[in-house]
Amino acid sequence: MRKRITALLVVLVLLLTGCSGAQEEEKPAEIPFESDTVLIVGDKVVNLAKWYLYALPQYEETDRLYGSSIWDYVVDARGTTMKTAVKGDIRSQIIYTEIVCSKADELGIALTEEDNMDINLMTADYMDKLTPAMKTKYGITEDDVRAIYADNKLALKVYEYLTLNVDTTTTEKQVRNMILEYIPILKYYEGDDGEPVMYDESELKERSTLALDYLDRVKADPDVTELSQVTDETFVPITVTADYSTLVEKLSEKIADIAFSMKKGEIEGLFDSPDAYFILDCVESEDEAATNAARIRIIEERQREYFAEKYERWSDETAVRVNEEVWGTL
């Protein structure tokens, strides 16, 4: 019996230790910081030259827009200065690029010969514009510049690959933009205290009667195809290029439904809402450029959201180490 118990204990120990008394898998040794190491993302070392290639355009643009005195300006309630905020933004950009590029191999993504030709051209152009003094000051070499362009190109290819099959279907209410002219005949006026004061019943009836008379005149004139063609100091049309949600915001859902179903050249009214009467004129039932832009905007937002989920997981799995000694000198 004692032998059986001993045997069971041996089996249990083997199961817990991974059989045959094997040692736990050793973690790879941390990459040491060199004197010019800014940070290490996974196993990718970011040196000072790479840092400055990312940072210089941001620094120059900020200086150009706001002047050199901006760097000590406090940008939030925590006392963060512009200098610290910009450094953080640049660090995030570098970390993002390094993490995304690190996934290229497992996804089977690589730079093509055409990509490398473009990278070489951009590298040569950048190096031509960089003064010898700048190269010396920041230790920037042609290889450093080429690596930056290659990383950004590869990161973009990873993004495009992963977001290629994101759902591109959209509904008419999501994307169709129309050009609408509308006249609001308000049911209130501004009181002495700046607050809205509703007209009484007789005043509302008078305002609606005037609006109906105007509408009859407009519709009776065969030469009038748009409200803006009629000069009237009392009734001034507002022109909007709007999708369905914008119409709801401006007109109310009930009137937006009517407006969205109108055809080009239709002039209709008087539509009643709690705050105003409306006269509507459909100038164009669809503005093609605005509609296409809305469709692209929705699809791109879906792509960003999908990729953000992937990136968040990659980021959680990737160690980032900052060389605090060098970081404080940047």
- What sign does the CA torsion over 306, 308, 314, 316 have? negative
Which domains does the chain possess?
37-168+305-327 (1.10.4030), 178-285 (3.10.50)
Average pLDDT over residues 43-60: 92
CB-CB contact of 226 with 281 (8 Å) = yes
Predicted confidence (pLDDT) per residue in 131-172, tens digit = 999 889 888 999 999 999 999 999 999 999 999 999 999 999
pTM given for the model? 0.77
CB neighbourhood size of 297 (10 A): 12
**Residue with more model confidence, 7 or 111:** 111
Q: Does position 14 have pLDDT exceeding 90, yes or no?
A: no
